[in-house]
Chain A
Amino acid sequence: MTLLLPIAYQTVLTVAAVLTVLAVVAYILKMRRRRFEVPFSTLWHRVLREKETTSLWKQLRRLLSLLLQLVILALLIVAVLDPQLGSADRDARNVVVIVDASASMKTVDEGPDGQTPRIEVARQRAHELLDAMAGGDAAMIMRMDGQTTPLSRMGSDIPMLHKVVDSIVASDTPADLRRALSAAADALRERKNPTVVLIGDGAYPFEVLDSVVWSRVPTGAEAGPDPAGTSASGRDGIDQKRLADIDLSGIDVRYLPVGKKGDNVGIVAFNARRYLTDKTNYSVFIELQNFGEETAQRRLVVYSGNNPIDVKTVTLQPGQRLRSIYPDLSGGQENRLRAELQPVAVPDSPPGSSEDPLPGRSGDSSGDSVRDRPDVFALDDEAFALLPARKKQKVLLVTNDNLYLEGAMLVYDSIHIDKLLPAEYEERISSGDLATYDAVFFDSYTPEKIPPTPSTHLAYFDPRGEHSPFAIRRTVEAPRITEIDEAHPVMRWVVMSDVNFDRSSVFDVDRTSGEIALARYVRAPIIAAKRDGQRKIAAFGFNLAGTDLTLRVAFPLLLVNTLDWFAGDDADLITTYQTGHRLRVPMDGTYGISEVEVVTPVGRKTRAPVTDGQARFYGNWIGVHRLVARDRGQVVAVVELAANLANPEESQVAPVDDLALGGRTLARPEGFAIARRQALWAYLAIVCLLLLAIEWVTYNRRITV
């Protein structure tokens, strides 16, 4: 018999001692008896005198009652210790069952008809494993996908473990075998007969498989001779290797393979970007790979929104990876792009397949090896990408005929420009008809009134006076730009190191309220930016007539960057991510906001923290995520991003029957023969109930009192 001790031994002993003392004290303590008046107690005395001759027996009966209570208590304590009839303690194993729930486990190739997902078979294998556990065995269920999640504690509650296994579903993330094995090794540390059973399809990176060590890595001092001759660097290398290695020393690792087929063609990369100069056009990068062992033909369809903008048929040889760029795409009004691999139902007449611009296409697709059936892994047959928002801005210049400024604006074709003199501006602003502009540039003029629309962005050249967007600390003569915040979109690719200025105002920038100094002259902010609600404001401390910046390439670039920043069009914004990673998404305009709402592709809403202007969350699902930042209930920023599997190791769904870890091929868990195991706690509880019934009857019949 084995005691599984689900509760700490000391705790059980303490509880048992306390309950025993309570039971004995309850027997010692006399209960307050009900008083009853009798007319002639002499008769009762005579009766009791006769009864008292058997007082010893009476005491024994009371003692018997106490003993009965203590026996019940002892049985309950033993039941709590969860005794099991089964194998001896020395044979008991501590098993961590790692169930692969990564994206590849969504492959549908199992079952007699090949229509059963691998994850379902993996669950079934886990159930069989649990049913085959012997009496003293304890198991922990661990789910492995991009994250490793222990789903139970180490225990022998088989029904509970079965429920845990039933709850496992595959995610859209790649498997992180390193983390799973490390977590299993940690869970099994200091336990007897540690065993790990990995149930999966073997689609794991080779470097992880090779990083497993089966004996302890020696410490740096014991590392032996340094082959490089530099002992310090050699020791560092060994230390790094020790950190990277997965130490499975002393652990019996078994492997239960799942999966039958490996013919898969998947999209391993999909990205899109707008051209900097022509934002109406964009280019798309796509990469396909055939992971099967036979030539595959697919129809690749690229959608903008729900409209197909390109359809072509591709043929890939076994193992072939096909990279392609779609230049100068301009169709569609949506900023959501979707690529989809479809089976070629009719090989010779797919729509739009007459021309195949992709290199490596197979024009002679009539061979027997070309198949037209869908592959078993559908998750990588679809990929998503987002284009940065494209918008034609309406810009107002308030200037006294500055040709440099007006000329530089001409290079940007995504804007519509109007021009006003400062006097006209003051007249128009009073009448309130300047509310339709997206941006207003003030050249050497600082107005008292600004357009009332909160989304109208403002740029100031040489602001002065009390209405300057930034307080002017002082004025410097002949400054030079010494520091630039290159990370800010306004200053991207702008070189101003040799630009000359006759004079410039120095702004008072308050970083605590979100104001940013974009360019400095020896720590003195000359160019600054800030947000005021939805309104973005940029201020340049110099006069355009007193600088040679207007003659440099940097000047139109500066204006374009400023207008792009106003429009929220960040050319560097990465909108396509990989699942299974913790995503860091820049949230423009989320100053002072601590969290954003994330709407996942499956429609579920979660919260993600925002630190340093970046929202961080774990990408679990393929598709378009929507991040919404709110400030006091008002939406201040919305960012969309696409998440794709984009993982060739995960798309390699060919099952591995013999998995090798650290050069050792893992065996099947054949040692888990079905054993008869019997939990005794239920029977003990029944015995307790019977004893309680006996005690109740004997007490009420005054046999044991």
Chain B
Amino acid sequence: MAVATKKVRAEQTPGDDRSGLFDDQFLKKLEYLHVVSRKIFTGNLRAERRTRKVGSGIEFADHRRYSWGDDFRYIDWNVYGRIDKLLLRLFEEEEDLHIYILLDCSRSMLIGNPLKLHYAMQIGAALGYVGLANLDRVALVPFSDRLRGRLPPARGKNRIFKVFEFLRNVEAGGQTDLAACIRKFVHENKRRGLAVLISDFYDPRGFEEGINSLRYNKFEPFVLQIYDQREVDPHLHGDLTLVDCETGEAKEVTVSKSLLDAYKREHEKYCSELSEFCTARALAYFRTHTQLPFDELVLKIFRAGGFLR
């Protein structure tokens, strides 16, 4: 924890002014979102989230065949009387939910108006607040080419200011290496939980390996892709030298309308690949542009389900 809180931004990127990101207005919106989330998620148990882990809870989950050594107390004798088979009653085990908010703070997130990073921080803070208010354990893990600090899991909405403070001081920059960062993340966090992955997913190495690492290690990935409208429809024309903001790689192009159309198609195709990847694996996936107000996006997430149960 001490290491994480000491993390300070080494250099402020031009335009990356975070002083006004989490003001009172923002806090009011968070409270509003919290209230709304409770309306949407009615009938749940207070301060509790259930995992899929089957254990010794009180809510029936399933049956399974009795095997040698099982506790006799959980044998369903009514079923045995009807079908003459020994079946064991299983209950959902109740435990605290860990919400890990993985925040992409690579160089590419420092593009857009507003900056994608700022937008991602506001989304992360909002989701984190809802989690904290629901007495879940919320942790923040910024990453780019490596993990850039960590806010350890905390509970209770009064910890939201720690979240703000942490986000304000997150160091941004570097290339995106999703796979390496998530591998390191799963090694460092043994408690499984919901992994909210907020990023633009502009990783030359691809996004599949990173998301699969979460899945394979029993984390529940929640994919949130952020983009800027100008990335989809850049207003470019003429002879240009395109420079990759992360790798610095330059490419001379003459941008024509046909080339722009081809680029738009390629961008859409890339996003569709991510969407199809998540859908095929029953992962929650949201895509948004930075011009959409963050609270609207959060409400949209709530209504779609996946974050609240």
Residues on A facing B (Cβ under 8 Å): 31, 33-48, 50-51, 701-703, 705
Q: Are A44's CB and B108's CB within 8 A?
A: no
B245 proximity list for chain A (CB < 8 A): 37-39
Q: Are A46's CB and B240's CB within 8 A?
A: no
Q: Are B240's CB and A39's CB within 8 A?
A: no
Q: Looking across the interface, which residue of chain A has its beta carbon closest to that of B206?
A: A42
Q: Looking across the interface, which residue of chain B has its beta carbon closest to that of A45?
A: B251
Report, nearest first, the 10 A-B pairs whose CB atoms are least far apart. Answer: A702-B256, A41-B244, A40-B202, A39-B108, A33-B241, A47-B262, A39-B111, A37-B245, A33-B239, A35-B241
List which B246-295 residues lie within 8 A (CB) of chain A.
246-247, 249-259, 262-263, 266-267, 270
A44 proximity list for chain B (CB < 8 A): 242, 251, 253, 263
Q: Separation in Å of the B178 CB from the closest CB of chain A?
A: 13
Q: How far is the CA of A48 from the CA of B249 in the complex (A)?
A: 14
A40-B257 contact given A47-B263, A705-B239, CB 8 Å threshold: no
* Interchain residue pairs with CB less than 8 A apart (7): A37-B111, A38-B231, A39-B200, A41-B242, A42-B202, A47-B266, A48-B259
Contact of B266 among A36, A43, A703 (CB under 8 A): A43
Contact of B202 among A33, A36, A39, A46 (CB under 8 A): A39
A703 proximity list for chain B (CB < 8 A): 256
A35-B239 contact given A46-B266, A701-B256, A702-B256, CB 8 Å threshold: no
A39 proximity list for chain B (CB < 8 A): 108, 111, 200, 202, 228, 231, 244-246
Tell me if B81 is interfacial: C-beta within 8 Å of chain A. no
A35 proximity list for chain B (CB < 8 A): 240-241, 243, 250
Q: How far is the CA of A701 from the CA of B243 in the complex (A)?
A: 23
Q: Separation in Å of the A160 CB from the closest CB of chain B?
A: 45
Q: Looking across the interface, which residue of chain B has its beta carbon closest to that of A703?
A: B256
A705 proximity list for chain B (CB < 8 A): 239, 254, 256
B257 proximity list for chain A (CB < 8 A): 701-702
Q: Are B262's CB and A51's CB within 8 A?
A: yes
Additional pairs, 17, CB under 8 Å, beyond known A36-B242, A44-B251, A44-B253: A34-B240, A35-B241, A36-B236, A36-B240, A37-B242, A38-B231, A38-B244, A39-B108, A40-B108, A41-B243, A44-B263, A45-B251, A47-B263, A48-B259, A50-B262, A702-B255, A702-B257
Q: Are A37's CB and B256's CB within 8 A?
A: no
A42 proximity list for chain B (CB < 8 A): 202, 204
A47 proximity list for chain B (CB < 8 A): 259, 262-263, 266
A36-B241 contact given A42-B204, A47-B262, CB 8 Å threshold: yes
Q: Are B259's CB and A51's CB within 8 A?
A: yes
Q: Separation in Å of the B290 CB from the closest CB of chain A?
A: 12
A31 proximity list for chain B (CB < 8 A): 239
Q: Are A41's CB and B239's CB within 8 A?
A: no
Q: Looking across the interface, which residue of chain A has its beta carbon closest to that of B256?
A: A702
Q: Looking across the interface, which residue of chain A has its beta carbon closest to that of B245?
A: A37
Q: How far is the CA of A43 from the CA of B244 in the complex (A)?
A: 10
Q: Separation in Å of the A615 CB from the closest CB of chain B?
A: 72
Q: Looking across the interface, which residue of chain B has its beta carbon closest to that of A51?
A: B259
List which B62-117 residues lie within 8 A (CB) of chain A.
108, 111
A48 proximity list for chain B (CB < 8 A): 251, 253, 259
B270 proximity list for chain A (CB < 8 A): 43
A37 proximity list for chain B (CB < 8 A): 111, 242-245
A43-B267 contact given A33-B241, A34-B239, A34-B240, CB 8 Å threshold: yes
A38-B200 contact given A47-B259, A47-B262, A702-B257, CB 8 Å threshold: no
Q: Are B247's CB and A41's CB within 8 A?
A: yes
B256 proximity list for chain A (CB < 8 A): 701-703, 705
Q: Looking across the interface, which residue of chain B has its beta carbon closest to that of A44?
A: B242
Most buried by B among A33, A35, A38, A703: A38
Tell me if B20 is interfacial: C-beta within 8 Å of chain A. no
Q: Are A33's CB and B252's CB within 8 A?
A: yes
Q: Separation in Å of the A435 CB from the closest CB of chain B?
A: 92
Most buried by B among A42, A701, A703: A42
B254 proximity list for chain A (CB < 8 A): 702, 705
Write out, one digit per residue, whether chain B residues 151-184 have a CB within 8 A of any chain A CB (1) or not (0): 0000000000000000000000000000000000
Q: Are A38's CB and B266's CB within 8 A?
A: no
Most buried by B among A35, A39, A43: A39
Q: Separation in Å of the B159 CB from the closest CB of chain A?
A: 32
Tell me if B43 is interfacial: C-beta within 8 Å of chain A. no
Q: Are A38's CB and B234's CB within 8 A?
A: yes
Q: Are B238's CB and A34's CB within 8 A?
A: yes
Q: How far is the CA of A119 from the CA of B204 in the complex (A)?
A: 90
Q: How far is the CA of A33 from the CA of B239 in the complex (A)?
A: 6
Q: Separation in Å of the A705 CB from the closest CB of chain B?
A: 5
Q: Are B251's CB and A41's CB within 8 A?
A: yes
List which B219-246 residues lie within 8 A (CB) of chain A.
228, 231, 234, 236, 238-246
Q: Looking across the interface, which residue of chain B has its beta carbon closest to that of A34?
A: B240
B247 proximity list for chain A (CB < 8 A): 41
Q: Separation in Å of the A523 CB from the closest CB of chain B?
A: 92
B255 proximity list for chain A (CB < 8 A): 702
A34 proximity list for chain B (CB < 8 A): 238-241
Q: Separation in Å of the A27 CB from the closest CB of chain B?
A: 13
Q: How far is the CA of A48 from the CA of B266 in the complex (A)?
A: 11
Q: Are A40's CB and B244's CB within 8 A?
A: yes
Most buried by B among A31, A35, A701, A702: A702
Q: Separation in Å of the A32 CB from the closest CB of chain B?
A: 9
Q: Looking across the interface, which residue of chain A has its beta carbon closest to that of B265?
A: A47
B204 proximity list for chain A (CB < 8 A): 40, 42
B241 proximity list for chain A (CB < 8 A): 33-36
Q: How far is the CA of A382 from the CA of B242 in the complex (A)?
A: 90
Q: Separation in Å of the A62 CB from the closest CB of chain B?
A: 10
Q: Looking across the interface, which residue of chain B has its beta carbon closest to that of A35?
A: B241
Q: Looking across the interface, which residue of chain B has its beta carbon closest to that of A36?
A: B240
A702 proximity list for chain B (CB < 8 A): 238, 254-259
A38 proximity list for chain B (CB < 8 A): 231, 234, 242-245
Q: Looking across the interface, which residue of chain B has its beta carbon closest to that of A62?
A: B254
A43 proximity list for chain B (CB < 8 A): 263, 266-267, 270
Q: How far is the CA of A528 from the CA of B247 in the complex (A)?
A: 106
